[in-house]
Amino acid sequence: MRLDKFLSDMGAGTRSELKKDIRKGNASVDGVTVKDPGFSVSPSSRVIYKGSVIGYDEFEYYMLNKPAGVISASEDDREPTVVDLITGLKRKDLFPVGRLDRDTEGLLLITNDGALAHRLLSPKHHVDKVYYVKVSGILTGSDVELFGEGLVLTDGLECLPADLRIISTSDEDYESEAEITIREGKFHQVKRMFSSVGAEVIYLKRLSMGSLSLDPALVPGEYRPLTPEELSSLK
């Protein structure tokens, strides 16, 4: 690949800035200064740019604890996105794997690995997604049964069987807490499922997706790279 692409993929700057800097002699490849932005390099080349060694990773994987108030998109002209929360040197082709609503918190994988994203999101693969949910309303054993049988929503959408585990109910606050595991990811799915049994979701947080669980050390807005173990079990 071209030297300027190698550097821009790794977040060192825009292609036009990089071209200028390379022409000025700010980059070297395998110990030799290279002034041609189109010079051919490979992921294993030792590239130094402005004094720093820039390693090449084809793919990057971050676990983000999405805060409420940001949208699940790569970029947006008006609103902060989940990819804006990944700071520092970063590649330009990162995207979130799936969407959480603006007011939903919790686990979101950010990567540039389209094949992995496709596998995790494909309706064929039925990847488990676990959410913690707080609803206005009192959940009961009959809701657990209905969810387990596969709800049919008021608009006719047939949901796959989902596991509902009630954590607590409070008659005084008219609220319940629960964990729900779904195996599909239709638009506003969890909110629509609870709404169909008369409960309004007031807080929603994704706890896991397939084998990947949200690191409890991450506060909303924080992220970290996946560990090699997390990545290999996801794959």
User: What are the residue numbers of the active site?
Assistant: 101
Cβ-based nearer residue to ligand URA, 19 or 205: 205
Q: How far is CA 150 from the centre of its chain?
A: 27
- Per CB under 6 A, the segment of 86-94, 98-106, 153-161, 169-177 that binds ligand URA is 98-106
Cβ-based nearer residue to ligand URA, 19 or 191: 191
Judged by CB under 6 A, how many residues of this single chain contact ligand URA?
8
Contact 8, 89 (CB under 8 A): no
Q: Residue 169 forms beta bridges with which residues?
A: 176
Cβ-based nearer residue to ligand URA, 37 or 106: 106
Q: Residue 105 forms beta bridges with which residues?
A: 205
Among 85, 100, 199, 226, binds ligand URA (CB under 6 A): 100
- Three-state SS sequence of 132-199: EEEEECCCCHHHHHHHHHCCECCCCCECCCCEEEEEEEECCCCEEEEEEEECCCCCCHHHHHHHHCCC
Among 45, 104, 112, 176, binds ligand URA (CB under 6 A): 104
Residue 188 near ligand URA by CB under 6 A: yes
- Contacts with 94 (C-beta within 8 Å, 6 or more apart), sequence order: 60, 62, 74, 83, 86, 110, 111, 112
- Per CB under 6 A, the segment of 152-160, 168-176, 185-193, 219-227 that binds ligand URA is 185-193
Residue 189 near ligand URA by CB under 6 A: yes
Residue 190 near ligand URA by CB under 6 A: yes
Cβ-based nearer residue to ligand URA, 15 or 188: 188
Cβ-based nearer residue to ligand URA, 26 or 213: 213
Among 151, 162, 199, 204, binds ligand URA (CB under 6 A): 204
Phi then psi dihedrals of residue 194, to 5 deg = -70, -40
Contact 4, 27 (CB under 8 A): no
- Say which DSSP state 86 is in: S
Comparing C-alpha atoms, which of 102, 97, 105 is closest to residue 81?
Answer: 102
Tell me how far, at minimum, the Cβ of 187 lies from ligand URA, in Å: 8
Binding site for ligand URA (CB under 6 A): 100-101, 104, 188-191, 204
